Chains A and B, each alone.
Chain A
Amino acid sequence: MSGLTLSILLETVATPAPSASPTPATFGANVIGFSFLLSLLVWGPAVMAAVTAILPEPRPGSRTFLGVAFWTNAGALALMIIGYSQFQAYTSGLQFEENLPWLPALGISYHLGVDGIGMALLLLNGLVGIAAVIAAWDLRERARMFFVLLLLTQATINGVVVARDLFVLFLFWAASTVPIAILVAGYGGQRRTGAASRLLAYWGLGTAALLAAVLLLSNAAGAGTFDLLTLGKATPSSRVELVIAALFALAAMTRLPIVPFHSWARDVYAEAPAGVVVLVAGAASRLGGYVLVRLFAGIEHDAARTLAPFLGALAALTVIYAVLAALRTTDVRRLAAYLALVPGGVTLLGVAGLTPLSLDGTVLLLFAGGLAAALVAGAAATLTERAQARSMGLASGLAGRIPKLSWLLLVGCLAVLGLPLLATWSSGLMVFFGSFRSQPGAAFMVAIGLVIGAAAAARLMHRVVFGAPNPDAPVPTDASLADSWYLGILVGALLWVGLLPSGPKLFGIPVVDPGLVNIVNTSTADLASTYATTPTPTPSPSPTPTPAPSETPTVSPAP
């Protein structure tokens, strides 16, 4: 089954589909069309955050704020799924595009749009967002503020993904820092203040780097605009390009996170409550990978080639460091936090690979790695909370007493390391196969790291899950229904994409899901065409060429 999945993936990537060829449409495609879908996904959560902030104080014990956040996320996820199913796969260019002048004097426009890469990230945010809300099911104290900040964070994350103007992208990127920092500082373990400070410092550094890169790129383009399409065609001098690419990489690495910019993640994943951990590990940190793919590899081609070996080395360093640190620690949450760094390292390896296959794998790994990191860090947070212990000495032998959480943690560990059948496996293999050609040393080291990671996970399982129970440990309680649901959503998504990367088909026609790999394939093929070492087949002219959505006039919402 796994071999079949991989062969489908490799076949799909090896023969990227031409941009304008007619393709079998998903059943039900184009039934509903939105010209303002993306704005709704960005501003909907923000508006609901404002609504949550001004709602009258509910009676004690009620879950009013959670309800608002849940239904907002459910609505957003439903819209994302509709958008995902309406998405025209095998088609390059932007879809659901909105373009309005915003600050013409500064060359800034409100330009939103998604391609396959953005759609994958949007879907990830939707899944992770609803999981994060459910993970906070038991939150009673200061719930209003928690859900306001959570919704604001989701709005900003969606904003980064759909922004096609670098000013707008930066705006949402920077805006996401404050609510997450307050979430970490206000909720969680004893060392939450330190964790929030670290997060603020590293993310602030990344934000400054991103701003500098955006301004340098805009200045180098000389076009007086921040539109990504225009800036993507800019040809700055090689020196400036190198600086811009390095700044993009720095901004991305502070979020993904990559050693040596990782210490915020270790602390946040180990201290913050499960809902925050899921959101940060699953979605917010993946924005770093998105910037690497979209801006670093997508715009600065020559500089990306120059910097690729450094990124490869950092990827190897990240994975090796994370798994060695996981081997040493006896704190369950810290161990999971270190393991949650691994997908980021593999993602960076994929970008460093700079081959069509590795980049395709990177985009899929952004999705799968986000789910896996959220799963392992979230499961550890919930497990230690239910076991009332964080130390391996106390939290031991839990398989018999809290089986659901124990097994979910096991699945999380295996997902991070790339268990066959899960989405991380296929995407990880694509990254490895793609990057072994261009970054063999780094890929080899990352592979070694994953082997050591398996040992770290085995140690965790041996002691915490299957070890002898500690008689002095507090009595643990197994996962609640909410815990099972939020972790189940993450596992389910990992399995779905792992088993059906091209989506289910009925008589050769995609049903329900057009397939994530089909959604991202053309976009990554376009992105990777610059890095292709072998000429890609020329698309045969279609008898009735369908114009790409970006070329068709778009209906923009009224200002």
Chain B
Amino acid sequence: MRTTTLVPEAIVVAAAVGLMLGTRLLPRRRWLWLRIGGLAAVVVALGLELWLGATVGTLFAGGWQQDRFALFAKAALLLGLVVLIAGDLEAGDQDASWNGLPLAFLVVFGGMVAASATSLVGLWAGLELAALAAIAAAGVASRDVGIRLLLVSAVAGGLLAIGFGVLYAMAGGSSLTALATALRPTSVSIPLAFVVLLTLTGVIIRLGLAPFQIATLEGGLSVGPLGAGALGGLLTGVAAVVAARLLSGLDAVNLAWAPWLSVLAAFAMVLGGLRAATASSARAIVAWLVVAQVGWLAAGLAVHDERGSAGALLVLGALLLAAAAAPALAADENGDVQLAGLRRAQPIRAVALTVLVLSLAGVPPLAGFIGQFAVAAELIRSSVAWVLLAGLLGSLLALFGVVRVIRQMYLEPGPEPAARGRGRSTISWSPIPLAPAVLVLLYSVLANPISGLAQQGAAALRLP
């Protein structure tokens, strides 16, 4: 395997550095070109990833692995970054957005590192880099929130460090292969279960799985759209990638973690749906829908077999596309976007937000539904129907929130678009918000090849 496989990662890092330097060296009037350049760099990286990343192999004496799982995960993260930047283009010219953009690239880079990691060290490094970058992206908009998130992150990082350390000691090595070899079903004991749960809790906090949703939810509600997208979309995606890799190494001792993960998944699905049904603002509804969909993702991982993980990967792709872009569409310069009459004021944004919210709620035939259906089928097959019941209850509750959002946008009269002289109105026809919606629709249309890729990705995890 050649080191050219690393070109996408190099492009992402170079783009992050370029953006950082550009905002300091170039005059502000040219910053828009930086954003467009950044978007182009991600698209190129995605194309190269799909081309070069298709080669399976290892680098650095096995320390870096490119398999189908890494390919799927990286492609999904890069797509998430594309929609985040597209949404950010719509968000406007804000300092927080400019300072946060390079950090979003670093989140994705952390995810790419974790996706190709073969050891606990790689997973830890990738996840920590992604978490710190995401918190920094959120923190540039709101220092107080950033500090609070940093504290939460420190707890998560501590749990991970302790857990990884003990696992390393038990396995006698840091590689995931060594871990899988050392841990046998017979080795399940209360101390081991405690360590595994401790480790998993560290990942779950980053994942934003209820009741540990404080990072994604608080980020989604209290910071700018870019920070919210980085936290609720990209970081969640990176944490899911780490969880999938880590749990494949811990598969032999699934008795220690699968029931717990199932309980949390069920709780997240119900809580997310319930809160989405009762939330009042668009951003809150989006944030809670993300929590519910993370529950579906975790439910797929908790099945701990190949098909369950494939379902989880399908959910991951849909989640990244919707969760990274939705906060930007649900917010404007004044905070929460005015939903009432949005169809008249910003028709394209209304359509895009509708598609994203419907996908997050798992309404057919959109991307979220495809993934959730795949997970649901595995839940039945694995005889954990109670998790499915929780998920269905959560989806049903979420529908109330979604219908309310759509009704407000399309059927409630909002403020009349103010005239801008010479008969021109202030109705916004910007096509940019359409990009994430189109990608979500494409994800649904191309569900067949994508599900095939997800299955190959899950197979690379070598689960039963």
Residues of A at under 8 Å CB distance from B?
53, 101-106, 142, 145, 167, 170-172, 174-175, 177-178, 181-182, 185-187, 196-197, 200-201, 204-205, 207-208, 211-212, 215-216, 218-219
Kindly provide the distance from the CB of A88 to the nearest chain B CB, expressed in whole angstroms.
31
Contact B448 A167 (CB under 8 A): no
Which chain A residue lies CB-closest to B447? Answer: A103
- Let me know if A219 and B451 touch, CB within 8 A: no
Cβ contact within 8 Å between A219 and B381: yes
A204 to B363, CA, bound (A): 11
Give A182 to B310 CA distance when docked, in angstroms: 33
Q: Which residues of chain A have C-beta atoms less than 8 A from B376's C-beta? A: 211, 215
Q: Contact at A175–B365, with CB atoms within 8 Å?
A: yes
Interface residue total, chain B, C-beta cutoff 8 A = 36
Contact indicator B448/A212 (Cβ below 8 Å)? no
Given the complex, which residues of B lie within 8 Å of A142, measured CB to CB?
410-411
Let me know if B81 is at the binding interface, CB within 8 A.
no
CB nearest to A243 among chain B residues: B385
- Flag whether B212 is at the interface (Cβ < 8 A): no
Q: Give the residues in chain A near B358, CB-CB below 8 Å.
A: 178
Instruction: Given A106-B374, A211-B392, answer yes or no on A171-B364 (Cβ-Cβ < 8 Å).
Output: yes
Question: What is the CA–CA distance of A219 and B406 in the complex, to the nearest angstrom?
Answer: 35
Which of A102, A103, A181 gathers the greatest number of chain B CB atoms within 10 Å? A103
B-side residues, CB < 8 A to A, are 310, 343, 351, 358, 363-365, 369-370, 373-374, 376-377, 379-381, 385, 388-389, 392-393, 395-396, 399-400, 402-403, 406-407, 410-411, 447-448, 451-452, 455
CA distance A106 to B358 in the complex (A): 22
B410 touches A145 (CB 8 A): yes
Determine if A216 and B396 form an interchain contact, defined as CB atoms under 8 angstroms apart: no
CB-contact partner of A201 in B379, B396, B410, under 8 A = B396
A218 to B373, CA, bound (A): 13
The SS class assigned to the A binding surface is helix
Bound-state Cα–Cα, A187 to B389, Å: 32
B59 to chain A, nearest CB (A): 30
Could you tell me if B377 and A218 are in contact, using CB atoms closer than 8 angstroms? yes
Total inter-chain residue pairs, C-beta < 8 Å: 92
Inter-subunit contact B411/A178 (CB<8 Å): no
* B455 contacts A178, C-beta separation under 8 Å: no
Residues from chain A with Cβ under 8 Å of B343 in the complex: 145
B452 and A105 within 8 A (CB): yes
Closest-CB distance, A234 to chain B (whole angstroms)? 14
What residues on A are CB-neighbors of B448 within 8 Å? 101-105
Whether A215 pairs with B377 at a CB distance below 8 angstroms is yes
Partner of A205 from B351, B374, B396, B452 at Cβ < 8 Å: B396
**A212 and B380 contacting across the interface, CB-CB below 8 Å:** yes
Give min CB distance, A25 to chain B, whole Å: 38
Partner of A204, one of B373, B374, B399, B455: B399
| Min C-beta distance of A111 to chain B, whole Å | 15
Partner of B410, one of A106, A182, A197, A211: A182
Please state if A103 and B451 are interface contacts (CB–CB under 8 Å). Answer: yes
Complex: A197 Cα to B358 Cα, angstroms: 17
Q: Kindly list chain A residues whose C-beta atoms are within 8 Å of the C-beta of B381.
A: 219
Beta-carbon contact of A106 and B407 below 8 Å: no
Q: Which residues of A contact B377 (CB under 8 A)?
A: 106, 215, 218-219
Please determine whether B395 and A208 come into contact, CB atoms closer than 8 angstroms.
yes
Query: Complex formed: what's the CA distance from A204 to B391 in Å?
Result: 12
Output the least CB separation between B384 and chain A (Å): 12
Complex: A185 Cα to B411 Cα, angstroms: 9
Q: List 26 A-B contacts (CB under 8 A).
A: A102-B447, A103-B370, A103-B447, A103-B448, A105-B310, A105-B451, A106-B374, A145-B410, A167-B373, A170-B364, A171-B365, A171-B369, A172-B364, A178-B406, A182-B410, A200-B399, A200-B400, A204-B399, A208-B389, A211-B373, A211-B392, A212-B389, A212-B392, A215-B377, A216-B380, A219-B380
Q: How far is the CB of B272 from chain A (nearest CB, A)?
A: 15
Q: How far is the CB of A413 from chain B (nearest CB, A)?
A: 33
* Chain B residue at smallest Cβ distance from A175: B364
Residue of B nearest to A148 (CB): B410
Among A104, A105, A186, which residue has the most Cβ atoms of chain B within 10 A?
A: A105
Cβ contact within 8 Å between A185 and B396 = no
B379 / chain A contacts, CB cutoff of 8 Å: 215
Q: Of all chain A residues, which has the CB nearest B410? A: A145
Report the separation of the CA atoms of residues A104 and B455 in the bound assembly, to the nearest whole angstrom.
11
Chain A residue numbers with a CB within 8 Å of B351 are: 53
Contacting pair B452 A204 (CB below 8 A): no
A218 to B379, CA, bound (A): 12
Tell me the complex Cα distance, A53–B352, Å: 13
The complex places the Cα of A366 from the Cα of B289 at a distance, in Å, of 38
Q: Chain A contacts of B395 at CB under 8 A?
A: 204, 208
The answer, among B392, B407, B447, B455, for a CB contact under 8 Å with A208, is B392
* Inter-subunit contact B403/A200 (CB<8 Å): yes
CB-based contact A105/B455 at 8 Å: yes
Complex CA distance for A514 and B213, rounded to whole angstroms: 61
A178 with B400, Cβ < 8 A, contacts A145-B411, A208-B393, A211-B376 known: no
Question: Once the chains bind, are A196 and B403 in contact (CB under 8 Å)?
Answer: yes
Q: How far is the CB of A507 from chain B (nearest CB, A)?
A: 49
A201 CA to B397 CA, complexed, in Å: 8
Residues on the B chain within 8 Å of A171, using CB:
364-365, 369
A50 to B455, CA, bound (A): 33
Q: How far is the CA of A106 from the CA of B314 in the complex (A)?
A: 12
Residues of A within 8 A of B393 (CB): 208
CB distance from A490 to the nearest CB of B (A): 28
User: Chain B's nearest CB lies how many Å from the CB of A444?
Assistant: 37
Q: Which residues of A contact B363 (CB under 8 A)?
A: 174-175, 178
Compute how far the CA of A204 lies from the CA of B358 in the bound complex, rounded to whole angstroms. 15
Contact of B380 among A172, A182, A215 (CB under 8 A): A215
Chain A residues, Cβ within 8 Å of B407 = 182, 185-186
A360 to chain B, nearest CB (A): 32
9 tightest Cβ-Cβ pairs between the two chains A and B? A186-B411, A204-B396, A208-B392, A215-B380, A171-B364, A175-B364, A105-B451, A181-B403, A174-B364
In Å, the complex CA distance between A104 and B373 comes to 14
Residue of A nearest to B366 (CB): A175
In the complex, what's the smallest C-beta–C-beta distance from B361 to chain A, in angstroms? 9
Chain A, Cβ-Cβ closest to B453: A105
